[in-house]
Each structure stands twice: as C-alpha cells, then as structure tokens.
Amino acid sequence: MLEDKDFIKSCDVPGPTKEAIRAILLYKSEVTFTDKVVDCGCGTGGITCEFSQRAGEVISIDTNPEAIEVTSRNLKKFGLGDNVTLISDDGANALKDIDDIDIAVVGGSGRQLENILDIVDSKLNSKGRILITAILVDTKVEAVNKLKSLGYNPKLMEVNISNGRILDRGVLMISENPIAIITAKKR
Ligand code: SAH
C-alpha cells in the first residue's frame, strides 16, 4: 500500500482517500490484473494509484482539471500511470464513451450520482463491481436506494478509523472522518 503522507496534495482537491479505506476498497473490489477499472471523481488519485498497481487498465475522471493534474503528478511520483487514462470531464458525460467496465469506483459525483449509476449499470460487465465512497448521510441513502432500484443487493459498511499518535506519556488516538463504503455486484 502507498502511504498517505507520500501523496502530493492540493488545497483545491480533496484527498487522498485514507490508506485504510483504500485497503478496504481494494479487497471489496476483488480486483485482478485483467480488470478494467473506472475511478469517477479521482481527486488526488489516491484510489487511482492503488488500482493502477493491481488492475489491467484504469480510467480516471474528474470535473476539476486541477484534480486531473494532481492525479497525474502522483502517478508519476509513484512510477505508475502506464495503464491509466485521465479524463477531465463530468463523470456522467465521460462514462458514455466507456464500455466493458469490471470495477466502477465512485468517489465523487456532485449531484449526478443517480445519473452516473444508471450509466455505470449499463456499461458494467456481468460480475462487475460498483464501489461508492460517501461522507454525506444523504449520499449514502441515495446510493443504496438507487442500487436497489437497479436490481442490486447493495451492502453498506460505515468505517471509523483511529490512528495512534505515539507521545512520551502514551498513545493518543486520533480519529479520521467516518466514511461509508457502499458496494454492489452485478449478477
Ligand atoms: N478518492 C479521491 C478523492 C475524491 S474527492 C482521492 O483519493 O484523492 C471527490 C472528487 O470528485 C473531487 O475531486 C471532485 O472534483 C470530483 N467530482 C465531483 N463530482 C463529479 C462528477 N460529477 N464527475 C466527476 N468528478 C466529480
């Protein structure tokens, strides 16, 4: 796994998604070296960089051109990127031109989540996996309801991570923001 502290960050781009969350996403995705992965809302490239090391192909999309720039710099920093295509566009728009998806990660959708999930569903291979990270309660509910209406059996995992900071007099636990990981698999 890459370490959070090694990522290039930007005050205008959220991320990277924390290491423990990236690890859960990887194992939930059941990624293999032949998979085609889409990272919608790639931010700083936290998830893109992890999948780039483990998948066949990664397509990363963000509406914010600066996010695409930071993702590109992080890929270069980690010596990755040969199998990554970066697209500066709205996810719903870019996804229209992408087919045969094995894994779709939605880490940012603005107000387009339902629209994005409709398109992902139509492009996802059988046994394909959808993973959504959500910090807003509203996004969690929207994701679960939309996946149910598309015929999936979604699962929601709320993750609370705390990391220990070693001090002279003991270990202080520092909590990270809770985040939900919503997953679904196509039959
Ligand atoms: N997983 C990322 C952080 C994602 S933050 C990391 O590890 O760095 C969410 C990102 O989603 C932001 O960069 C935002 O610009 C992007 N985003 C929001 N709505 C979007 C949309 N409709 N299409 C594509 N990207 C979107």
Tokens of 127: 């046994």
What is the tens place of the pLDDT at every residue in 64-83? 999 999 999 999 999 999 99
Give residue for tokens 């996802």: 124
Distance, in Å, from the CA atom of 183 to the CA atom of 174, rounded to the nearest integer, reads: 27
Measuring from atom 26 of ligand 1, which residue has the nearest CA?
Answer: 41
Q: What is the pTM of this model?
A: 0.97
Measured in Å, residue 175 CA sits from the centre of ligand 1 at 23
What is the tens place of the pLDDT at every residue in 82-115? 999 999 999 999 999 999 999 999 999 999 999 9
Domain assignments of the chain as residue spans, ordered by start: 4-185
Residue 104 phi/psi, 5-degree rounding, is -120, 120
pLDDT of residue 85: 98
CATH 3.40.50.150 fits 4-185, yes or no: yes
pLDDT of residue 167: 98
Best probe residue, ligand 1, of 7, 62, 114, 181 (max atoms within 8 Å of C-beta): 62
